Amino acid sequence: MTRKIIHIDMDAFFASVEQRDFPHLKGKPVAVGSPSKRGVIAAASYEARRFGVYSAMSSKQALKKCPNLIFQSHRFEIYKSVSAQIMAIMHKYTDLVEPLSIDEAFLDVTTNKQNLKSATLIAKEIKKRIFEETGLYASAGISVNKFMAKIASDQDKPNGLFLIKPEVVIPFIETLPVKKFFGVGAKTGEKMTRLGIYTGKDMKAWSLNGLVDHFGKSGYFFYNICRGIDDRPVITNRVRKSIGIENTFREDISTEEEREIEMNLLIEGLWKRIKRNKRYGKTLTLKTKYNDFTQNTRSKTYETSISKKSALTALSYELMSQVDYAQPVRLMGLSVSNLSEEIELPAKKMVQLTLSFD
């Protein structure tokens, strides 16, 4: 049976919520984030995007592109509440809902609660209900698998609805630029360009071994998707793969004393999250971002899980000793992965620390 997969993606979600709740912002370039020189854009309205402002851009750069940009402080509790409304609407049609983030999800509607044969009709109804209940617009992509549905949802934004029928999957992919492939980031896209891979048809001309040689395990994925093959199921309960914390500093730090202070805060925050999730990890990763936005990652996997705070502290400092601090540091992050099954940690009073995120 051919599967019917829908990808629902809210349009400029955070910024749209702000424009909904504050009508004077409608039609204006809005960014969710801090206007400080250390700020980073969390979301941008479509009016702001016309100026080239996008999420993850520094606020300083965004203001250069759009001097009239209006900044709104984030209200994550509101966003989570609206997200819960949206997910509840999706569940009226199917239990096979896989949230990718707070504002997007896959749905498998091959069989559905409304007994509707048309996935396109289901997508239209979901979009309509979302607007009626939240006042927000969503874009929907419909196709035979997750990869194609995700690609489809990006074709007609905002407030879009795009169907890629089974019989046009292959010709559609063959003409699609690889930089628009879900899963192909900027660096991978650049590498493909150097190899002469510009479209799905170019990728299809490569052998499996050739793609694996150049792209590692991702080569298997690329080999299949350029042929329209994606058998991944819609997973309703996504398994947490890592637990982490990071801090972007208000001012760059450059001394050993400053780094140690920030490291201790990260260790405290990470251990608190480990306790809350009741999971240990065998792999510890330290991320360092410098003031020129270049990034350094140090990671090590141990034979046993890191199950004591003292061990986490010692191993974190071990990784930090391997980092080159020739440049001032903008951000530090610490995470554990390769997680164990749920564990029971002994109750112990912890001092609650508040980290500053900007």
Active site residues: 104
The β-bridge relationship of strands 70-72 and 30-32 is parallel
Nearest to 15 by CA among 62, 55, 65, 60: 55
How many Å apart are CA 250 and CA 73, to the nearest integer? 16
CB count in 10 Å sphere of residue 209: 10
Q: Are 228 and 148 in contact (CB under 8 A)?
A: yes
Specify burial of residue 207 (Cβ count, 10 A radius: 0-12, 13-18, 19+).
Answer: exposed
Instruction: Output the CA angle 353-355-358, nearest 5 degrees.
Output: 165
Residue 331's DSSP bridge partners are: 248, 289
List 334's β-bridge partners, or say none. Answer: 245, 286
Closest CA to 142 of 117, 123, 115: 123
Chain mean position to CA 69: 24
Q: Does residue 172 contact residue 165 with C-beta atoms inside 8 Å? A: no
